Structure 1
Amino acid sequence: MITPSQLAAVAELSASFADGQVEITSRSNLQLRAIQQQDLNSVIQGLDSAGFLPSPEHDRVRNIVTSPFAGLGFGEIVDTRPFVQELDRRLIADQVLAALPPKFSFSIDGGGDWFARDSDDLTLRVVSVDKTHSFHFVIGETLSGFCVRIDEALDCVLEAAKICLKISKEFQIPARGKKIASVPQALDRLLDGLSSFLVACPSPDSSTLVAHMPVGVYATHQSDFASLVPLVPLGRLTAEQVQCVAIIAKECEGDIRLAPWRGVVLGAVPKHSISQITEHLEAAGLSFDAKDGYRGIAACAGSSGCDASLTDVRRDASSLARRLAGRNAKPGWTVNISGCEKQCAMRNGATAELIASSSGYGLRINGQLIASNCSLDSVIDKVAACQAEEPFEVHL
């Protein structure tokens, strides 16, 4: 969640001290690139003034995730926004928790649609038993088989984070949920330490996981309001586009959420303003019909932003998007384009994976190697055929 004034501040900092672009990451954060060393202090001061650094000691471990549609709809059972805000407040008030690993993450799932991303270290997932709501406690991807009462959920998850730090020292393993869950003695130690909070309960329904990238206008709990979800090509906005979103959100008194599909949600927008808003955003290059070819395409920084990349994957991703433009994108169909074998920006389960090499691209479709050392034109042909479900040749 980000305010219009904060978003406008980021746009101004990017235009003044970075490359004029603002990237949305798969953890729903913002990233600025190409900042010069002599400008770093000015950027930090600008971020601090905008309210982005309420606790410098905890800044790298304040990773709290919930649905971008929290409080708006999508089958939600519990509005998770108050839990997120209170967890953040209590996290930064506790100096012990500043020792958590930088990528340690919490997630709070209020039910309804949950958008695919990497597993989090500690998760609370709502379940309903006998018309009473509780949170199922999840470590990494492991369902614990236990629930915690709604009013004790934050006490439980904060205590769990502290126990993770102790387990890390006792067992000499990283203080990460997936790692702890993979060591039976460590997992038992964690659950024993939380026994006063936990009660046995059924597992939550996992059928709500959504892999596609929402685009368009969506209904909310309030009949006179809607949520607007423009398509952000490659998760990258120009400073001018960011300013446009900030101005619109301020004028219509909507709220802004960054999303794990590297996009943005304008929530609680008055329905009478939708046509005007979508017209302004489309004029700024942010579409609502998903026919610009970019839906489902993700790419790393490429050679323009990373020395390890072997080619300009953003340019190549744009070439692929132009080829796919005008088609009805299939929900759940995804492409990931990486500039090297490290695949830093790789999402889980991409339909098509393009990996650059010194002599072309390698291509995997649904995990199967289809081609090696392929030219860009050839690999685009194969990806386009895959999306259209047409036959294509395999070259190894």
Structure 2
Amino acid sequence: MLAAMSTPAVPSSPQATAVSRGRGDACPGTLRLHTADDGALARVRIPGGVLTVAQAEALADAAERLGDGDLHLTSRGNVQLRGLRQSCGAELTEVLDAAGLLPSHEHERVRNIVASPLSGLDGRGVRDVRPWLSALDEALCASPAARALSGRFLFALDDGRADVAGLGADVTVRAVADGGALLGLGSAGECLYVSGEDAPRAALVAAKTFLALARDRGARVWRISELPFSQDELVQEVRRALAADGIRAALRASVGADVTQGPPPGIVGAALCVHVPLGRLTPRQWRELRRAAVDELRLTPWRGVVVPVPGVGPDDAAGALARLAAAGLVTDPASPWLRVGACIGRPGCAKSLADVRADAERGLAAAGGAPVPLYWSGCERRCGHPRGDRIDVVATPEGGYQLTAVTAGRQPRAALLDDSRDLAAALAAITS
């Protein structure tokens, strides 16, 4: 049974309005595990999603020996290990340290950096952002002030194709064709033009200025969007801080960016691209990805994996892609899995009201016909939900789900869904 109804607008994110945080940031990391219903959880920050093959093997070893065996991808290109023993913290730290995944214990939760995953691989974009990524991560780990950033503060390095620029980062560095970069802060109406050489340092200065300004104003916030004053005011403060640090910056109007769905599955330039259904990589899938890799893997913020294969011939690349498909990874750009996401749900999360992943899989065929992606959530927190147009499918305390179509420029429409077999009809009711 389903019933259509009107509903108030749904914020695009939990940080849509200014807030004051009355407690410390409890975002999990690798040195501070989070207790979940399926065991302890560790979140391993992977700046830019870039892993060497050796690091990928270390993560697989940790997942199989200490956790549930799977690797869970996040919407920031990081990895979560679930089902861990509460007593495994020291052993996990040793494994990650040895693999170079913990360059600074004091900064391990703040290394949140997304980067254009196909940068330098497909001939698009105006520059390869890998040098920016290395420079920013090194500077971040060397900064005592940066330790005060929350585990939710996000940097984005966009190579000019405007993919990660649409992910709502706190600090966005976007390459432009003349060799410079645009430094964006939250959703401020103005940005700052800096040289490409100065871009990574400018990003860190911006983050430190946010911390200082929030502290001076008594604002207990984790992200730029939570500031209780104009974000354009922060832009002016950052411009002054850059000048004091010897970085020239000119005001520019901010450039919008559409929210994208990430690299399309298949062979793209010198890379194999796959999507991971619901972000959960099994040991077999992880082994096949490592087998296909030449030197590294790149995890994407869209719960996919890019495997650079420079120098690999077309026949060998096609064979590797076929093996990845046989392992259950999505290699077809028409797959309905590209339009479906979900939080962990039951039994892993105590707050979840439903096994949303099982229900999402049962509704896969109907989701494939929806005009926008679906995201299934076990409760009103909607953890990990995407930005942009979507259909939120949220479990209710009464059983069943509330479906809400969130589309820019339109009043949200909603329907109650009691039986997942009626999903197609519910979708038709709120999208027609």
Q: TM-score scaled by structure 1?
A: 0.86
Q: 1 CA distance for matches of 2:423 and 2:97?
A: 45
3-state SS in 2 of match to 1:61? coil
Partner of 1:238: 282
For residues 237 and 51 of structure 1, what CA distance do their matches in structure 2 show? 22
Aligned: 1:274 with 2:317: yes
Shift, 1:59, TM fit:
0.5
Q: Pairwise mapping of residues 370-389 of structure 1 onto structure 2 (< 5 A)? A: 370-383=414-427, 385=428
Quickly say closer, same or farther: Cα 1:348–1:219, change in 2 above 3 A: closer
Please say which of residues 355-364 and 265-274 is displaced more in the overlay. 265-274
Q: Within 1, Cα distance between the matches of 2:197 and 2:379?
A: 47
Match of 1:162 in 2: 208
Please list every run of 5 or more consecutive structure 2 residues that lacks an aligned counterpart in the other structure: 1-49
- Residues 61 and 101, structure 1, Cα contact 8 Å, conserved in 2: yes
Is the counterpart of residue 255 in structure 1 residue 281 in structure 2? Answer: no
How many angstroms does 1:186 deviate by?
4.4
Q: Does 1:82 align with 2:82?
A: no
1:139 to 162, 176, 185: 185
CA–CA separation in structure 1 for the residues paired with 2:280 and 2:429? 25
- Residue among 36, 39, 58 paired with 2:85: 36
* Structure 1 residues not aligned, in runs of 5+: 221-225, 392-396
- Displacement of 1:30 in angstroms is 0.4
| Higher alpha-carbon deviation: 100-109 or 193-202 | 193-202
Match of residue 394 from structure 1: none
User: More deviation in 367-376 or 52-61?
Assistant: 367-376
1:106-141 Cα deviation digits (max 9, x unpaired): 22222014147641122221234xxx3211121112
Deviation at 1:17, TM superposition (A): 1.7
SS at match of 1:16: helix
**Inter-CA distance 290–157: structure 2 relative to 1 (3 Å threshold):** closer
Q: What amino acid is aligned across from residue 124 of structure 2 in structure 1?
A: G
Q: Which has the higher contact order (CA 8 A, sep 6+)?
A: 2
Deviations 1:338-372 (A, max 9, x none): 11111112212342211111321111124533312
**RMSD of the alignment, in Å?**
2.5
Give the drift of 1:145.
4.1
Name the residue aligned to 1:108.
157
| Alignment match of 1:72 (pick from 121, 124, 148) | 121
Find the aligned partners of 1:386 and 1:245 in 2 and give their Cα distance: 40
User: Contact 1:231–1:290 (CA<8 Å) still a contact in 2?
Assistant: no
TM-score using structure 2 length: 0.79
Indicate if the aligned counterparts of 1:74 and 1:113 stay in contact, CA closer than 8 A. no
**Structure 1: distance between partners of 2:69 and 2:164:** 29
- Structure 1 match to 2:144: 95
Q: What does residue 224 of structure 2 align with?
A: 177
Q: Give the C-alpha shift of residue 381 in structure 1.
A: 4.0
Q: 2:247 aligns with which of 185, 194, 197?
A: 197
Question: Are residue 354 (structure 1) and residue 405 (structure 2) matched?
Answer: no
Structure 1 residues 79-126: Cα deviation after superposition (integer angstroms, max 9, x where no partner): 110110111112112222212222222222220141476411222212
How many residue pairs get aligned? The number is 372
Instruction: Give the corresponding residue for 1:206.
Output: 256
Paired residue secondary structure (1:228): strand
